[in-house]
Amino acid sequence: MFADAATDDFFRARLDHMIDLRHSLAVLASRMPWQQIEASVAHLFSRKAHAGQAMPDLDLFGEAPTPLARQSNAGRPRVPLRTMIALLYLKHAFNLSDEAVVERWSDSPNFQFFSGQAYFEPRLPCDATTLVKFRRLLGEEGVEELLAQTVNLAVSLKLIPAAALATVVVDSTVQEKAVAHPTDSKLLETARAKLVAVAQDAGIELKQTFAKEGRLLRFKAGRYAHAKQFKRMRRVIKRQSTVLGRLAREIERKASGLSAAVREALSGALGKARRIADQSRSRKNASGTSKLYAWHAPEVECIAKGKSRTPYEFGVKVGIAATLQHNMIVGARAFVGNPYDGHTLREQLEQTAILMQDTGVKPATAYVDLGYRGVDADNPGVAIKHRGKYKTLTTQERKLLKRRQAIEPIIGHLKAEHRMNRCHLKGEQGDRLHAVLCAAGYNIRWLLRMIAKKGVPFLRRLYLRLCQIAGLSPNCSRMAREPLVHALSSSAPRLALASN
């Protein structure tokens, strides 16, 4: 919220005096429904009951805290909810890491104005790790709400007609995980190092760790592969597998006398090591089990999209839904297990309908590629159009079908400018959160472009009203309308807050 004029601080600089209030980010800050966003996600941060800790009772006047006979460990005060939400928006809108976005916030008056600050504060808003915890608390429900509010804002500002949301384009892409390229040699050396570290943590003394030999074997395998000496390379990989098996058997023997908790902790690492050793011995994997492509990210899948430059990508499949005419994203969802594209369409359209429910519009027509053939029965109420139905399409539908490939540059922008090219978040939940946040960041940039291009309707009406009061023509000279423009730019954010 903006500070009241009567409470101006002589020793601090007001942000609305430092920045150009006609900047698209300043206009967007005044038009975002911040109170509605905070209210929709506030329940995710409510106090949870913990074992052995009393919860406050409810009486006529609200919560009645029960005095506890323990020392307070409340910690530092909570960062404002609007600041944390704004940081997530800005992070993915401007392609910044957690560390970079908090540092840029401390230097940028526009970022602080967008976050609801009244005065410029040359400090970090929070620690970068706070964003990690905040994302985890938001969950998939919270980040989808952030994406839905960008769609609602575009409709409320009349930057896109609500009827345009009924026709969408759906396509899939791969959100790669932050893992090294999974060669057998690298995986076997990683498994050896992890087993040694787990054994040392459990207090197991190994006869030999093969640290020096393992490092040299990995170097040899890479050199033989580069020289296309594959027989020598396979011999090196076989030796790496032998070393890994010897370590695993020694750990199993010496773990028999340890506690059950320690044995359970060791079983997970030993299971991963066995999977890596088994898949390195044969080209084909055992039926019913998936290959392990990264020790720290077992959820990674190998996805082949038919590209000549990158035939295989390691990550998770993500479905993207965008409007046909205005290129705004209305849905983004990660699908675990590398499903067939057509099998993801129903869940993708279901998520899109949920995100657009505040606008009163549901997706009625979906333009897709040939990977979504044969799923019309699974999506009743939605007309699915693709090139396989070309003879049955009308002339208008054939014309619109040519815009289906407009989603390809949208996916390119998501990967190049909004961090979808590489996911650094942990686990399957991290994949789901990252996909939706990248789409929300894309929509924020879309709103900034549309505001700079078209303006906001209420500002135009206010300008015409001021021209009428001053007795000037809207098309008068620039020198004559300069005072009106200055007054409009200085009062627009406060008027926007009043209208909200």
Break the chain into its structural domains and give their ranges: 160-179+300-451, 184-281, 467-499
Asked whether the CA dihedral 11, 14, 15, 18 is positive or negative, the reply is: negative
Please give the Cα distance from 213 to 387 (Å, whole number). Answer: 56
Q: Residue 71: what pLDDT? A: 59
Phi-psi region of 227 (alpha: psi -120 to 50; beta: other; left: phi over 0): alpha
What H or E segment, with its residue span, contains residue 333?
strand 329-335
Query: Rounded to the nearest 5°, which phi and psi values hold at 470?
Result: -80, -10
Q: What is the pLDDT of residues 75-134, one digit of tens each?
A: 778 889 999 999 999 999 999 999 999 999 999 999 999 999 999 999 999 999 999 999
160-179+300-451: CATH number: 3.30.420
Q: 23, 110 in Cβ contact below 8 A?
A: yes
344's CB contacts (< 8 A; 6+ apart) are 172, 317, 319, 333, 335
Q: 295, 206 in Cβ contact below 8 A?
A: no
Q: Residue 478: what pLDDT? A: 54
Which tokens is 184 given? Answer: 């057998």
Q: Residue 248: what pLDDT? A: 94
Tell me the mean pLDDT in the region 376-395. Answer: 92
Q: What is the pLDDT of residues 449-480, one digit of tens each?
A: 999 888 766 555 655 666 666 666 656 655 55
Please give the Cα distance from 112 to 235 (Å, whole number). Answer: 59
Task: State the number of CA atoms in the 13 A half-sphere of 488 facing the CB.
Answer: 20
What H or E segment, with its residue span, contains residue 303?
strand 301-303
- Using DSSP bridges, classify how beta strands 329-335 and 365-367 pair: parallel, antiparallel or unpaired: unpaired
Please give the Cα distance from 148 to 444 (Å, whole number). Answer: 11
Whole-Å CA distances, 64 to 54, 61, 75: 11, 8, 21
Q: 430, 423 in Cβ contact below 8 A?
A: yes
Give the global pTM: 0.84
- Residue labelled with tokens 């054939």: 398
Which tokens is 476 given? Answer: 């008068």
Task: Name the DSSP class of 242.
Answer: H
Ranges 2-11, 141-150, 278-287: which has the least confidence = 2-11
What's the mean pLDDT when you consider all of the chain? 86
Q: Residue 281: what pLDDT? A: 86
Which tokens is 181 given? Answer: 């390229």
